[in-house]
């Protein structure tokens, strides 16, 4: 892509983003909990995964009467009102989603890089999990899942203030107003696992060439400046895109489009790897990649079925459609590659499975089995071409296809959610145009802000390792370790 084309694209996205954010936000609610909670507990932790609610604000499992009387902020609930079954499932789902990052994504990415960069790739994922965990405690959770403006939440849950459990004789626990049957600690932890894997996905785009220090700074700023606002807009019921009716059951826009478009920005700012297109950059260990993809597949049941926020029928449907879409996408990619290149590959079927997992994510709580298969096939075939033909045609180096799989797959899934949404399953109405609005806002905002952050880091401390370090490999040059 020429410099002129990049500048034109950047200018266009900036104009659109400025117009989108020019809306005046309504005043935030400052109501007291009235239940003996600290003042910080007057914020709400809502929307998205583990809320039991679609993005429209309609309860997923509660009756209409309960929905009408639903609280609008966290509050203290007697412990005997907590569902042991729902809590057990959400604890399990939380562990499954954390497993997607470590070791799932770490192994998936680690196997695809060259031998001299495998440890640095594993290190990136592990470090991101640690850093974002503390950011989530510090302010991320509060900014994403408490009421505030339509674009960002408040600070009332900073340092997890107000999130409590009171033993005898009080016997009460804080709960989110959108996850009424589980402790808020479980809800916040579940949301944390989404927050850590999203920036970790970006690392696949710039693998083998970014400084470790620059990567850490980028992930800190990106998590607070991009992930939390998008999560708030889509998943918090007072968020701009939520009130517009955008549907995202488990993270098609918030996680995958968000990460994918940031990955594309990274490719454009960093440039290509040394020798790209001239030297062999074949994966070092596809055994690790297939193991990683398998762990991602299993963990994704926590990602999607866990987003029901309960052990119920909708969780079961989300699990079923996740399995169907993943299998369909894996086969779609495999057969497309077989036809085009003459042989089906291990890397291809693993990548296809991930594409299917990505595409079904926003739709998993809204569609039935047959639409899930259709979504999977489309995602598998389209992502195959985006990760091969599109990347080469446009000339960017998306090292491990973060944009080609997560960006494109997320866009496919988000749009098709509006086409196939079932009101019988979800109680929600869908619209392709509304879904397109959610996609456009995420793409524009995510790209512009990511690009600016990367440019500032590049100007100040530099993004890229030296040529000598890159040729030697990041394992030795950045971490002083290597695999023999």
Predicted confidence at residue 178, as pLDDT, reads 75
Tens of pLDDT, residue by residue over 203-228, are 999 999 999 999 999 999 999 999 99
Query: pLDDT value at position 166?
Result: 86
Question: 449: how many CB neighbours lie within 10 A of its CB?
Answer: 21
Q: How many helices (H) and strands (E) does the chain have?
A: 21, 3
Q: Please tell me what DSSP assigns to residue 26.
A: P
Q: Which residues contact 356 (CB under 8 A, 6 or more apart)?
A: 325, 326, 327, 328, 329, 330, 332, 375, 376, 379, 380, 409
Residue 64 inside a domain? The answer is no
pLDDT in tens, 393-437: 999 999 999 999 999 999 999 999 999 999 999 999 999 999 999
Q: Whole-angstrom Cα distance, residue 296 to residue 111?
A: 14
Q: For the chain, what is the domain count?
A: 1
Q: Is residue 422 included in any domain, yes or no? A: yes
In this prediction, residue 51 has a pLDDT band, given cuts at 50, 70 and 90, of very low
Mean pLDDT of the 133-158 span? 94
Cα distance between residue 283 and residue 260, in whole Å: 21
| % of the chain exceeding 70 in pLDDT | 85
Query: What confidence tier does 388 reach under pLDDT thresholds 50, 70, 90?
Result: very high
Q: Give the pLDDT score at 73.
A: 72
Task: Please give the mean pLDDT across all residues of the chain.
Answer: 87
In a domain, 208, yes or no: yes
Tell me: pLDDT of 47 over 60: no
Residue 147 domain flag:
yes
The CA distances from residue 262 to 13, 137, 209, 256, 447, in Å, are: 13, 23, 16, 10, 6
Contact yes or no for 450/223 (Cβ under 8 A): no
> Is 72 contained in some domain?
no
User: Quick one: CA torsion of 227, 110, 103, 266, rounded to 10 degrees?
Assistant: 0
- Read out DSSP for 128-149? HHHHHHHHIIIIIHHHHHS-BS
Instruction: State the pLDDT confidence band at 306, using cuts at 50, 70 and 90.
Output: very high
Highest mean pLDDT among 12-16, 31-35, 380-384: 380-384
Lowest-confidence range among 43-57, 337-351, 378-392? 43-57
Over residues 180-191, mean pLDDT: 95
Q: What is the mean pLDDT of residues 264-275?
A: 97
Structure confidence at residue 21 as a pLDDT band (50, 70, 90): very low
Residue 77 lies in a domain: no
For residue 259, is it within any domain? yes
Is residue 60 scored above 50 in pLDDT? no
Find the domain containing 474 and state its range: 3-19+88-161+183-479
- What pLDDT, on a 0 to 100 scale, did the predictor assign at position 15? 32
Q: What tens digit of pLDDT does each residue of 425-475 get?
A: 999 999 999 999 999 999 999 999 999 999 999 999 999 999 999 999 999
pTM given for the model: 0.86
Per-residue pLDDT band at 315 (split at 50, 70, 90)? very high
**Would you say residue 62 has pLDDT above 90?**
no
Q: What is the pLDDT of residue 14?
A: 41
Long-range contacts of 137-141 (CB under 8 A, 24+ apart): 139/224, 140/195, 140/223, 140/224, 140/227, 140/228, 141/45, 141/188, 141/191, 141/192, 141/195
C-alpha distances (whole Å) from 106 to each of 118, 192, 358 are 9, 17, 17
Q: What is the pLDDT of residues 87-132, one digit of tens each?
A: 999 999 999 999 999 999 999 999 999 999 999 999 999 999 999 9
Q: Minimum mean pLDDT among 77-86, 286-295, 376-385: which range?
A: 77-86
Mean pLDDT across the stretch 292-303? 98
Identify the residue with better confidence: 6 or 460.
460
Angstrom distance (rounded) from CA 331 to CA 333: 5
What does the alpha-carbon distance between residue 241 and residue 54 come to, in Å, rounded to a whole number? 12
H or E segment to which residue 320 belongs: helix 313-341
CATH code for the domain in which residue 467 is found: 1.10.3430.10
What pLDDT, in 10s, does the model give residues 63-82?
A: 444 444 566 677 788 898 99
Average pLDDT on 32-57 reads: 34
């Amino acid at each position: 892509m020429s410099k002129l084309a990049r500048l034109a694209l950047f200018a266009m996205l900036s104009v659109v983003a400025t117009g989108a954010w020019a809306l005046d936000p309504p005043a935030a609610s400052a109501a007291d909990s009235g239940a003996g909670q600290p003042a910080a507990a007057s914020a709400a932790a809502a929307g998205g995964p583990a809320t039991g609610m679609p993005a429209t604000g309609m309860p997923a499992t509660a009756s209409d009467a309960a929905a009408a009387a639903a609280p609008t902020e966290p509050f203290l609930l007697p412990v005997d009102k907590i569902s042991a079954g729902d809590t057990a499932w959400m604890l399990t789902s939380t562990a499954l989603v954390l497993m997607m990052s470590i070791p799932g994504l770490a192994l998936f990415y680690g196997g695809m890089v060259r031998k001299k960069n495998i440890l640095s790739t594993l290190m990136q994922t592990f470090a991101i999990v640690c850093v974002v965990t503390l950011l989530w405690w510090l302010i991320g959770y509060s900014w994403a899942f408490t009421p505030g403006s339509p674009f960002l939440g408040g600070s009332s849950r900073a340092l997890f203030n107000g999130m409590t459990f009171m033993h005898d004789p009080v016997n009460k626990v804080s709960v989110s107003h959108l996850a009424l049957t589980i402790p808020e600690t479980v809800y916040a932890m579940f949301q944390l696992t989404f927050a850590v894997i999203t920036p970790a996905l970006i690392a696949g785009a710039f693998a083998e060439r970014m400084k470790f220090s620059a990567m850490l700074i980028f992930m800190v700023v990106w998590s607070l400046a991009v992930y939390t606002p998008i999560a708030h807009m889509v998943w918090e019921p007072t968020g701009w895109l939520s009130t517009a009716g955008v549907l995202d059951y488990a993270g098609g826009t918030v996680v995958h489009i968000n990460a994918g478009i940031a990955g594309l920005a990274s490719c454009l700012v960093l440039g290509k790897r040394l020798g790209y297109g001239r030297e062999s950059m074949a994966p070092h260990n596809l055994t690790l990649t297939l193991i990683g993809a398998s762990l991602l597949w299993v963990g994704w049941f926590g990602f999607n079925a866990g987003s029901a926020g309960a052990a119920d029928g909708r969780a079961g449907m989300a699990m079923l459609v996740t399995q169907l879409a993943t299998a369909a996408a894996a086969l779609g990619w495999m057969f497309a590659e077989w036809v085009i290149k003459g042989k089906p590959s291990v890397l291809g079927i693993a990548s296809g499975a991930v594409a299917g997992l990505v595409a079904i994510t926003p739709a998993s709580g809204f569609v039935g089995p047959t639409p899930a298969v259709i979504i999977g096939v489309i995602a598998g075939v389209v992502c195959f071409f985006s990760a091969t033909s599109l990347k080469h045609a446009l000339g960017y180096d998306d090292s491990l296809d973060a944009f080609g799989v997560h960006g494109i797959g997320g866009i496919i899934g988000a749009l098709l959610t509006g086409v196939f949404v079932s009101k019988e399953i979800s109680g929600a109405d869908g619209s392709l145009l509304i879904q397109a609005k959610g996609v456009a806002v995420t793409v524009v905002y995510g790209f512009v802000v990511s690009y600016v952050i990367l440019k500032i880091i590049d100007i100040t401390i530099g993004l890229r390792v030296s040529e000598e370090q890159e040729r030697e490999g990041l394992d030795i040059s950045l971490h002083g370790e290597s695999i023999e």
